[in-house]
Amino acid sequence: MCGILFASHPNGSSSWITARGRKMPRKSIGILLGIYFLSALAFTLFRVFSNPLFARLDALTLGEAIGGALLLFVGAGLLPFLGWALYRFRPQYAWRTMASWAFIGIALAYFMEVGARLERDVQVTVLSKNLVLSGSKLSCLDSEHASKFRTEIGITEREISLYCGCVSEALAASATPDELTYIVTNGQAPQAIQERAAELGRPCKILLGRTKM
């Protein structure tokens, strides 16, 4: 354990002493605090770059990353620091503070990442489904408006709008998580979704007042 050290005496005997009785130099404390903050900053930057919605690193994004690092750094060290204050910041208790700071920081970073991933998944799902709905409906409207058969049998604009809305909703509901992530990353639907359009739109044809196009 890090709290126990082995010491040898000049007479040849040996004994165990605890780290609690040894003073941690202020320089070591400063170095550890610097490492903790840089670790927190690296963690927040990782969250920024791993986000599928990330576009570019600007001043606002960098400021949010630094703010998140400070929040993690201070939040993890608050309780250990208050505990150390009860001992009037005696150097022999500094190792407890540093160890607790690191442990709480790791645990806090883990739960922050879990929460961020859940929130990001919701954002990706909502955004990508909206893209599928708008993109597929516009494509369907263009296709129907270009159809000569539509004008020959007198299909109304309302029927076309209902039909294309039905097709786009069916496509959005059929998209897998990987396909949704692809849509957000590339700004367009993958080929697999486009190929399913005709099959998924078949039940919607009744809205056009006909059984086949």
Pairwise CA distance, residues 42 & 11, whole Å: 49
* Residue 127 and residue 64 share a domain: no
**Which of 88, 103, 121 is the last residue before a domain boundary?**
121
Pairwise CA distance, residues 99 & 93, whole Å: 10
* Residue 173 and residue 99 share a domain: no
Pairwise CA distance, residues 84 & 90, whole Å: 8
Q: Say if residues 205 and 212 touch (Cβ distance below 8 Å).
A: yes
Domain that holds residue 190: 123-208
* Residue 129 and residue 114 share a domain: no
- The pLDDT tens digits for 146-196 are 766 565 566 778 888 888 888 888 888 888 878 877 777 777 777 777 777
In a domain, 7, yes or no: no
Pairwise CA distance, residues 98 & 53, whole Å: 35
Phi first, then psi: what are they for 87, rounded to 5°?
-95, 15
Burial of 4 (0-12, 13-18, 19+ CB in 10 A): exposed
pTM of the model: 0.60
* Residue 129 and residue 63 share a domain: no
* Residue 93 and residue 60 share a domain: yes
**Which of 66, 95, 121 is the last residue before a domain boundary?**
121
In a domain, 9, yes or no: no
Pairwise CA distance, residues 21 & 3, whole Å: 10
**Which of 121, 143, 159 is the last residue before a domain boundary?**
121
* Residue 27 and residue 108 share a domain: yes
Instruction: Count structural domains, the chain.
Output: 2
In a domain, 73, yes or no: yes
In a domain, 177, yes or no: yes
In a domain, 16, yes or no: no
Q: Which of 205, 135, 208 lies closest to 172, judged by CA?
A: 135
Residue 5 — very low, low, confident or very high, per pLDDT cuts 50/70/90? very low
- What is the model's pLDDT at position 38? 95
* Residue 112 and residue 147 share a domain: no
